[in-house]
Chains A and B, each alone.
Chain A
Amino acid sequence: MTSLAILVPIALTMGLCGLATFFWALRGGQFEDLDGAANRILIDDETDLTP
């Protein structure tokens, strides 16, 4: 039981962190242009192109 009392909250917190990260990414516009994101890895030197 004691192990559960620790592990269950840990599992839930980790899950919630993942969910929060997803929402952060969603709000930050990272899902706005999925085609572009897929292609951007092919651009050689992207640091020069973005401000």
Chain B
Amino acid sequence: MNAPALATALAREASEETVLIVPAMHCAGCMAKVEGGLLKVEGVSGARVNLSARTVRVSHERAVTIPELTAALETLGFASQPRLEETQAAPSAVKPLLAPLAVAGFASMNVMLMSVSIWSGAEGATRELFHWVSALIGVPAIAFAGRPFFASAWSALRKGRTNMDVPISIGIALATALSLYETAVGGRTAWFDGTLMLLLFLLAGRTLDAAMRDRARAGVEALLRQAASGAMVIAPSGKLDWVAARDLAPGMRMRVAAGERLAADGEIVAGETALDQSLLTGESAPVRAQVGAPIHAGTLNLDAPIDVRVTATGRDTSLAEIARLIEAAGQSRSAYVRIADRASRYYAPAVHTLALASFVGWMLAGAGFYQSIVIAIAVLIITCPCAIGLAVPVAQVVACGALMRKGIMVKDGSALERLASIDRALIDKTGSLTLGQPMPDAAALAALSPEQSEVALALASHSRHPLSHALSRALVQSGTRAAELDHASEAPGRGVQAQWCGRTVALRRPDVAGAVAVALDLDGEPVRLITFVDPLRPDAVQALAQLKAQGIDCSILSGDNAVAVAEVARQTGLTGQSSASPADKTDAVTRLQQAGHRVLMVGDGLNDGPALASADASIAPGTASDVGRQAADVVFLGESLTALPRAIDAARRTMRVVRQNFALAIGYNVLAVPLAILGYVTPLIAAVAMATSSILVIANSLRLVRAAR
């Protein structure tokens, strides 16, 4: 190979891989668009979407920069950002279980082939050969596929506790030992088939449980990564640079444009603006701030660009203080014991006692040691919680899948269990009961003449102010078309001004302070005030009625002022507590819990975080702050509040099905255990009973497919 060719080959080799997070991808069309769009970028050699993780892996030459890639996606309508090392997805819980599951499946099928021949009457040398082949497949397979159970049982025993895996491990080990002995002495029965089948079903249950957690976590993580956190920092030289939130340091001067959220605590050094602190305090009315005012991370800048000198970052901010409160509050919840573990607490000792009792009983009745131990092991195998292992995860996986299709993401199975027991709900106002975004008052819009609406839309579309955005969205929705304007110009903090048919028109800050409003000023006409309200979510009243019908008392728990809370309380008919600080909210939750209630907290803001973490169960809307989404058990997408009663209803149905499943599984034991104790159970009976009860449990759980109606 000559030198130039080698150089190009090396250049091609020196390509890089970038992983971009694209949260909005959800279908085949999106995948094709994203992959196709990226490949059109010069220097990109490959793009592969991972839809489960909502990411795309791009191989490109070193010359291609990340902004080029995000810009290419931006033109297709997909927001994206590079994946940071620290936010890399946690290792999947399913993957380590797949290999044991496959081995157990392979081995149980093959051993079952041998067993069927034996049951249908293979005798003598043939039976012995088949037993040996079964042992050859079964023993290594059991050793490999059983590892998840052995490891978990061992770690429980070492801490002096017992869990579901202890009876499973003992049963498996004893059954394997007995079967090997039987094979060696040329006995009639070996239990390799039953043992492997047990492992297969149990691993299937575990895998489903893990798959559910993986999927919900991937969904929530995709949402979390959506929030870009960082700031434009002005260097002493005057150069503007984008700096990620974790790299901000005290003393830096950041420029915050209107419509941006602050990434760090600071003090205003230039500019004057209105701030929306609803995420921090729940207070919905904007607060005016001038030079010298302290300003907290998470605050939304509404009006005009400001320069802020950073005073605290990272762990020192008011945000981090809330994070510490959440951590402390979440500890009480980790004490919750899942229903499967509660069941095994009673089940494991009962099974062991029963097996031991049968052994002692047969010894006393005069049977030999060998016969007694065979019967005791048969009891262990038949009671091994095969269907019980499936009873909970299958039902929860089916229900979570149904909820996910309705845009409700449940973080794990225990959330469904806790949600089912709720009898009291506390709901935050701003962003939870309401949409959390100002919308122009319908009455004020209706009062505008068509002409005025057209001018208002044209003016609003020239501005980046959040109120203008809301106004133009509402006007476009009502079918208004924009008027033709000349010389439109925006003065930050003041408004937009333009010429229309030779008249000066403006959309500006109103003269009266206090109200959230914009003034529409057409030269020669009286000034029109368009007020903004934070409307209730659609279906909020209906959703609250449904919650009441479910026996759940609701009340408002808001950080907003009493007037704003009273207004929403009047519309919804709920009672409410206003001006609650984050600590007050946690107290309210704890007080109700001490009064014997199971409390559901619904909230979105940072100020709700500690209460979300300390409540028995918690739900946050998808528009919530990062902290809110992280602290909540359930995140719902979309605007409708009916997600609340829907999630609770599905959780309750799931728990009903779980209890039925337990009844089915235990019912099978009630039938089979006497047979086992009397010594009538053969491997054939054990296999049939095990398979039947497992299929019954799965079939019963599948009824939950429509749980989220």
Contact = CB atoms under 8 A, between A and B. Distances in A.
Interface of A: 1, 4, 8, 11-12, 15-16, 18-19, 22-23, 26, 31-36, 39-44, 46, 48-51
A10 B32 CA distance: 43
Contacts of B51: 33, 35-36, 39
Interface in B97-122: 98-99, 102-103, 106, 109-110, 113
Interface of B: 27-29, 31-32, 35-36, 39, 45-53, 59, 95, 98-99, 102-103, 106, 109-110, 113, 125-126, 129, 133, 137
Contacts of B48: 50
B45 A51 contact: yes
28 contacts: A4-B129, A8-B129, A11-B110, A12-B137, A15-B110, A16-B106, A22-B102, A23-B102, A26-B98, A26-B99, A31-B98, A32-B50, A32-B52, A33-B53, A34-B52, A35-B51, A35-B52, A36-B49, A36-B50, A36-B52, A39-B28, A40-B28, A42-B27, A43-B28, A46-B32, A48-B36, A49-B47, A51-B59
B106 A49 contact: no
Contact of A50 (B29, B46, B103, B110): B46
Given A43-B32, A51-B46, A51-B59, A33 B99 contact: no
Given A26-B99, A50-B46, A50-B48, 4 more contacts: A12-B133, A23-B99, A33-B51, A42-B28
Contacts of B49: 33, 36
Given A26-B99, A35-B52, A36-B51, A19 B39 contact: no
A51 B60 CA distance: 11
B31 A36 contact: yes
Contacts of B53: 33
Contact of A1 (B27, B35, B99, B126): B126
Contacts of B52: 32-36
A26 B207 CA distance: 15
Nearest to A48: B36
Nearest to B141: A19
A10 to B, nearest CB: 12
B5 to A, nearest CB: 21
B199 to A, nearest CB: 15
Nearest to B38: A49
Contacts of B47: 49
A27 to B, nearest CB: 10
Given A12-B137, A43-B32, A33 B39 contact: no
A24 B52 CA distance: 21
B126 A50 contact: no
B137 A39 contact: no
B36 A39 contact: no
B116 to A, nearest CB: 12
A19 B102 contact: yes
A49 B31 CA distance: 10
